[in-house]
Structure formats: structure tokens, C-alpha cells
A = this chain, B = another copy of it.
Amino acid sequence: MDEMGTGRWLRSAVVSLALGIALAAGPAPAAFAKSQEQSARISDFKLANGLEVVVIPGHRAPVVTHMIWYKAGSADEAAGKSGIAHFFEHLMFKGTKNHPPGEFSQKVAEIGGQENAFTSYDYTAFYQQVAPSALETMMSYEADRMRNLTLTDAVIGPERDVILEERRMRIDNNPGSVLDEEVNATLYQNSPYRYPVIGWRQEIEKLNRSDAIAFYDHFYEPNNAVVVVAGDVDAATVKKYAEETYGKLPRGADLPPRNRPQEPAQATRRTVTLNDPRVTVPSFSKKWVVPSYGSAAPGVAESLDLLAEILGGGARSRLYQDLIVEKGIAASAGAYYQGTALDPSSFGVYGSPLGKASLADVEKAAGAEIARIARDGVSADELAAAKKRFVRGMVFARDNQAGMARLYGSTLATGGTVKDVEEWPDRINAVTADQVKEAAAKYLDPTRSVTGYLLPPDKSMNWPPEKGTN
């Protein structure tokens, strides 16, 4: 029921976006103009019960995307209850007192629609893509399950087993995911981003009905959600439907501000190593805690976005050009920035060797590229080209109905506004070369980093040791 219910999601999303930008050839002025036109007609309003509604009209095709974003992710979980946000995402598909389990999904399928859901650190979202005529029905079902779920032990027990199996498949059976999990638990020393979105196994095993009800009653309220509707519909119609569906739900108790434990100043260089027989090609992934759009001073997150773009955002980037094209030492190399987050998040650089090159060669070369930017900065041409690629990427994302809904939803669910989304291209374009250099020098400090190594088995690490070895 969840598209990508783990900590990898944010990273994957950002990586895909970056690659998407780089692979898109040539300018796209028409799309840009269209996007600008769309932005101008976006509506953003609140119902009396506190539900925020964003409408993004777009009439290219007779389709609408309906999403609801709850401001409740894994970083909002209570201590010892990791996984409850994602667990709850599953439970939302389990039927209400008005509709039996499966009816909503069957309805979507019957009318040829698509649906899905996902959980991340800062939010849980559900969406359906359907014909405009079905929008009101979708909103009615979605509003119904916001408050009327049937949460019995008979529902919860089997779903817990489903999730434990999902964890086994996605994390425990995947050395890269096991490593990522421990890298995050090492990178963040205090922030709840250290916990895996899917939850620690030993805690998932104990999640029960009262945990689920407590989470539901606390977070699943109209005043803690944002509905985004994009596509072939107008604001007045959406408002009417919203009043008739979500509008009938009472406002929930006010939620406290999302003031989560913050990171201490870090002073050490850390490594996390996993040797596993399933690994054939070694790889590294180096991470730093950096400000996010939700936590940064103006211009800093934008600088980090461009730094990621210049350093490792696809085939035009320095890492790609130097390590893959020129030196030919890397099979892969790139950088990413998880900017869309409420609290300070992470910037990452990764690579794996090619041919006779060692992993250390690749890591060293990547480190030299970072040091070069921190020392010498970036050129005006390089910055201009990166801005163009980055903004074009936004335009492509905005030209897609679901992508547009997702952009607004994720921004609004992490403390941003519609205006923040609309002004994002301008803010990116305002970044100076000095700001990019400063971001590299200030944040990509190797003495305050965490490097994950995914390696083939190391015979010297066999444990417990056998007779005759040491």
C-alpha cells in the first residue's frame, strides 16, 4: 500500500529528480510558460475545521490527482513506537464503519483510476488519480477514513505481520538498506531522522491497537492535513466538494508545534561498514547533516541544491565528468541533497569503482572535487548552467499533474507555503557563486561526516574465529 515506505524514499526521490533534470535535453520554454500560467491560478484556502486545500487547475487531459498530506511522519512518533506512522498508512486501507475493507480501492480500480500512499520522515500521503467525475467520490471516501476507521485487533494483528514481512524484504534482505539504516542511526545523533521510517523490527513487533488509536486520534484530523487537487477541475468545484465531504468533519484538538530534538554540534568523522556476500561491487556513500528548506536561513538550502547539482547532479556534474568520463575510475558517482524536510537533513555523495580502480581511489577523487569547490568555488558559467538545469527540472516536475501535486504537498507538509513553491525558481536564480562555495566549505567538512561502505565479504572479519585463523 505504500509506494516507498522507507528512509530511502526521500533520497530516491531527490536522486531521480536530479537525474531527470540532467537527462532532459534542450530548453523547454513552452513548458516553463505553462507552469507560470498554472502557478498564477493556484488556489489555497482553509475550511472552517482547519483543513487546508490547494487547487492546481490544468486542463490538458480529463484527469485529476487528489492527494491528502498528513503532517505526521516517522519523525513525529513517540519514543519506542518507531514504525507507527508507516503502520498507520497501511491501516488506512482497512475499511471504516461506513465502507468495508477493500471497497475504496476496488472503487478506484473499477473506474480505471490509480491510487497509492507513502510515508516519510515528515508526512504520510495518500492519493488517487481518476477522471474528474469521480473526484467527489474520492474525497468522500478519503474524508470518511480520516476519522471512521475500524481499528480492531483482528485488523491490526495480520497487518503487523504484513509490515514485518515488508521490512524483511526491503531492509533485512537488502544489504544496502541495512547499511543505510545504520548510517542514518550514526549520522543523526539526536534528530528523529535517525530512526528508519519503516521502524525498528523489535518495535514494530510490539505495535498494537492502542498505539494505532493514539496515533490516529492525535494526527488524523482535518486541522493537521493538506488536500491537494491538481488537474482538470476548477477551484470553486473543489471547494464545494471539500465542504460537502471533509468539511463535515469536526476540527481536532490543536497540535503542539513540531519542535523535535535537534542535532548537537558534531565533531567526529565516522564510518559504517557492512561486508556482505551479496555485494559484488563495493560502494561508498558519505553524508553530512545540513540545513533543510524547513530549517535553513534564506538562501542556504537553495545554495545546497545548486551545490548538489554542480557537484553530482547528473551527467553534466563535476563528479560525473571527472570520475566517470575523464578518469574512468568510477562506475557511478553523484551527489544529492534532501532539502524538503522540516529539520536539518542530509547532503550525500556516493560512488563505486570501475575496472582496476579501488573504492579508495573513487572516494579520494570525490573528496578532491568537494575540496576544489570549497577552495576555489564555482565559475559563473557553471553556476548559470546549473541553475538552468535545476529550474528546468522544476518546470518538468510542474508540467506533470501528479508531480505538481507532490511538490506542493511535500512543501506544505514540511512547513513551507504555496508562495515558497512559486518563488522557488527565483530564489534558486538568486544564489551567488560565493554562496555555493561557502556551502561546500561550511557543510561538507570531512571531519564531521559519516561514510558508509558496502563491501564484499572480508575473510579477516569471520566471527567467531575458527581454529588456525586469527
Residue numbers of A with Cβ under 8 A of B are 79-80, 82, 178-179, 182, 185-186, 189-190, 192, 194-195, 200-203, 259-275, 368, 371-372, 374-376, 440-442, 445-447, 461, 463-467, 469-470
Residues of B near A179 (CB, < 8 A) are: 268
Question: Are A464 and B375 within 8 A (Cβ)?
Answer: yes
Measured between alpha carbons, how far is A261 from B79 in the docked complex, in Å?
Answer: 7
Say how far A166's CB is from chain B's closest CB, in angstroms.
Answer: 16
Q: Which residues on B sit within 8 Å (CB–CB) of A203?
A: 190, 261-262
- When the two chains form their complex, are residues A272 and B270 in contact, meaning their CB atoms are under 8 A apart? yes
Residues A182 and B189 in contact, CB atoms below 8 Å apart: yes
Q: Are B470 and A445 in contact (CB under 8 A)?
A: no
CA distance A268 to B455 in the complex (A): 11
Contact B182 A270 (CB under 8 A): yes
Q: By the criterion CB–CB under 8 Å, are A461 and B269 in contact? A: yes
Interchain CB contact under 8 A, A201 and B465: no
Copies in the complex: 2
Q: Determine the residue in chain B with the shortest Cβ distance to A202.
A: B262
12 other contacts beyond A190-B200, A442-B464, with CB at 8 A cut-off?
A79-B260, A79-B261, A80-B259, A82-B190, A178-B267, A189-B194, A202-B262, A202-B263, A268-B273, A371-B465, A376-B467, A445-B463
Kindly state the separation between the CA atoms of A374 and B466 in the bound complex, as whole angstroms.
9
Q: Which of A194, A260, A263, A264 has the largest number of chain B CB atoms within 10 A? A: A264
Q: Residues of B contacting A272 with CB < 8 Å?
A: 268-270
Which residue of chain B is the closest to A179 with respect to CB atoms? B268
A465 / chain B contacts, CB cutoff of 8 Å:
371, 374-375
Most chain B CB atoms below 10 A, which of A203, A371, A376? A371
Bound: A261/B203 CA distance, A: 8
How long is the Cα–Cα vector from A237 to B438 in the complex, in angstroms?
A: 70
Cross-interface CB contact of A267 among B80, B182, B259, cutoff 8 Å: B182
Q: How far is the CB of A307 from the nearest CB of chain B, in Å?
A: 13
Some 16 contacts from A to B, beta carbons below 8 A apart, are A79-B192, A80-B260, A182-B266, A190-B200, A202-B264, A268-B273, A269-B274, A269-B275, A270-B271, A368-B470, A375-B464, A375-B466, A375-B467, A445-B463, A445-B464, A447-B461
Give the nearest-CB partner of A80 in chain B: B261
A263–B185 Cα distance when bound, in Å, is 11
Closest B residue to A200 using CB positions: B264
- In Å, the complex CA distance between A186 and B182 comes to 9
Q: For residue A188, which residue of chain B has the nearest CB? A: B185
In Å, the complex CA distance between A326 and B224 comes to: 67
Q: Is the CB of B470 within 8 A of A447?
A: no
Report how far A465 CA is from B446 CA in the complex, Å.
11
Least Cβ–Cβ distance between A392 and chain B, in angstroms: 31
